[in-house]
Structure formats: structure tokens, C-alpha cells
Amino acid sequence: MENIGYRPRNNSDQASLALSDDPIARALELSHQKAAHSFKTQTNDPTIPSSYTLRSKGKSLQFVGVNHVDNLKRMAQEDTTFIEEANRRCRLTFDNIMGAISQAPLATSSIIIEGMPPLDPDQEKPDRFFDALLKKYPEMDWENPNIEQFLSFENASEMDFAALIAHRRGMRIISSESQRKQIAALCKGKSESYVSHAFMFFACRDLVRYRGHGDGNDQAKNGERGVMNEIERLNKCPEFQSLTMDSIHEIARPIWGSGALGNQAMADEMAHLITPYPMQYIKALDALSAQKKDQLKLFNQIAQDLSKIRDRAIIDLAIHEFKSHSTVIPIFGSGHGQSCHLAFQYLMGSKGQAPLF
């Protein structure tokens, strides 16, 4: 039986980083290995926390790792015994967000928020984005936000909450999450097969959420509609302009059969494949046949590649922000907090070397 435990190299992490041509990339690789093992064994490895504060030479990095509310809600609906734990994690997420933003020095802080392409710092000031976001949550008092009221809105997002709280304070809010940049980096120099699978990965990774609830027919229609809407957005990227729904069917049919988008198994397996660790670390895929795993391995590789691209973008943007701000606060899913931890330690000089900012 394969031993999937985390196995450090002969050199210490510190020595390995020091010898690397790109210590940040090496640090991310080491953290990904440790996070994968922690994910599989559910051990919550204390050496890779999801939330942490690191300080050096008057600079402060405060990573706020959060639980995504939509995932917690879905898990509670699927397993009623999880409701109490989901509520606890949800409350902790909002408390951590509010604490970090309310205590941050207003003039010298920069907040990096997950999943908000309009906040790309290369774009113009996104006033219209915040106007639209405020309209999504009418009657909210952002001076004294009520979390229960916020969660009563359909599709309430903890990232929306963080952005609007910080916006109300007049803070600098940006994002490393430009999907176009991610897709360009992911597909550069890759094979036609890789690009086609990447297209399907982006179009179908939220299929479970698109399907929603109701009977099978409604779920199938909702799922296909959601994928079609995503294809329309993806076709604006040069890498994906020639790809269509037929491109997805061509890949999906041999794996999940005809009518794959209406297949709950496809939705579930795509949801698990979002996990950015090698397949042997994903318990939910353990029961799959060797043939099925072989068919899914390229999706699994894409998930890992994309996660590393996203993590590197967080690190690089933090380095940039430290040039003009003393406090940088990334607010991302807890997995990103774990996989970036060692790299941020290296960035902040916590490994015995000079900080990199």
C-alpha cells in the first residue's frame, strides 16, 4: 500500500529554501505537500495554520483564512448533524474578518480579497463594482452590520462582507484574482488536451452549485444553464475562444456517459476535483476505479497548477503592497492560508534570512 505521508527531503526546509533558485516557489511546494497530508489525515497540522500574523521591520502580514459560507450551507443541508459545526465555523469566519478589518490602521493597510476580479489593482478604481455590491444587500447597516441579517440574503458571501466592511472604512481593497491572468498563466505552453480540459474545469467546477436543489430534471437544466453561462464568459479569453459545449461533451462522455451534465456523479466528482492536492490525498475519490482515476488525472493536475498560480499571485501582490503599506491583510479560503504559510514566513524573514519586501 502506498505511503502517502508527508516526507521532507534530507535537507531541512530552511536549507532547501536557501539553496533554491526561487525560494518562494520552493516554499509553496513544501507547504502544498504538508497541507495535502493534513487534508487527508484531518490532523490540522499546527505548523501550517490557516490564519496567522507575521511581523518584521515595522511591517505586518495578517492572513485571515476563512470558511466559505456557501460550502458550509451545502454541507449542512446534506448532513443535518453538521449544522451546529457549520454555524460555529460561520460565526468564527465573520468574527475574524471583522476583527482584522476593524483593528487595521486605516491609512497604512492594504486588503487583498479572494475571488474579486474587478478589484485587480491594474484596473481603474471600481466604484461601480461597490455600488452594485451594495445593492445586493439592501437595508444593511454597514456602520453596525448584523451578521444574521447578512446571511439571510440569497448567495451571501463572506468575501462580499469583507469588501463592503473595508470599503465603508475607506480602506485600500484589491485582489490577486484576475481569472484572465490565471488562465493565461495556466495554459501558457500547454498541450491542446490540457487547454481543453482546463476549459472544462473552469466551466464545470461549480456544477454542484449550478444544479441547486429540486428534482433531477430541474437540477439537470440548472446545471447546463450554469455551464453555458460560464462558457460565454470563458470564451472572452483568447485561450478558450474556439472551445464550446461540444468540447466539454467530447471529454465528459467517455468518463460519465451521455448526458453527463445531468449526472449527479459528474457534479460530485468535479466538486472533489477542485481540491488542489494529488488525487491520493482526496478521500472522496478513494472509491473510484483505477481507470476512472486515470481519466480524471489531468483535471487533478490542473487543480494543483491553478492553486499554485493563485498562491504565487497572493505572495507577489503582498510584496508589491509592502512597498507602500505597512500592513497587508489577505482574506482567502483557509486552504490558501495553509499553502502560503511557509512562503510568507520566508517573505517576512521568519526563517532567519532578510525579509524580501
Q: For the chain, what is the mean pLDDT?
A: 90
As given in the structure block, the three cell numbers for residue 6 are: 508527508
| Paired strand residues for 332 | 65
Inter-residue contact 67 to 92 (CB < 8 Å): yes
Residue 335 and residue 274 in contact, taking contact as beta carbons nearer than 8 Å: no
At 113 the pLDDT is 97
At 49, list the grid cell: 495554520
Which residues lie below 8 Å from residue 158, measured CB to CB, with a gap of 6+?
66, 67, 68, 69, 93, 94, 97
Other Cβ atoms closer than 10 A to 242:
11
Distance CA 204, CA 184 (A): 18
Q: Alpha carbon of 326 to those of 58, 64, 106, 125, 224: distances in Å?
A: 7, 17, 11, 21, 46
Q: How confident is the model over 287-341, as pLDDT tens digits?
A: 999 999 999 999 999 999 999 999 999 999 999 999 999 999 999 999 999 999 9
d(Cα 272, Cα 201) in Å, to the nearest integer?
12
Least confident of 14-23, 59-68, 330-339: 14-23
Q: Say if residues 350 and 56 touch (Cβ distance below 8 Å).
A: yes
pLDDT in tens, 229-269: 999 999 999 999 999 999 999 999 999 998 899 889 999 99
DSSP 60: E
CA–CA gap between residue 170 and residue 97 (Å, rounded): 16
Cell numbers of 89, please?
A: 465555523
pLDDT for 5 equals 39
Helices and strands: H and E segment counts in the chain: 15, 5
Name the burial class of residue 170, with classes exposed (0-12), middle (13-18) and buried (19+) by CB atoms within 10 angstroms of its CB: exposed
Q: What is the pTM of this model?
A: 0.90
177 vs 2, more confident? 177
Measured between alpha carbons, how far is 198 from 139 in angstroms, rounded to an integer? 40
Q: How confident is the model at residue 209 (pLDDT cuts 50, 70, 90)?
A: confident
Using the structure block, give the residue that is written with the C-alpha cell 475607506: 170
**Which grid cell is 98?**
471583522
Mean pLDDT of 193-211: 95
Residues 6 or more apart whose Cβ sits within 8 Å of residue 320: 121
Q: What is the DSSP letter of 329?
A: E
Predicted confidence (pLDDT) at residue 123 exceeds the cutoff of 50? yes
What is the predicted pLDDT for the residue at 10? 42
Q: What is the largest CA-CA distance in the chain?
A: 59
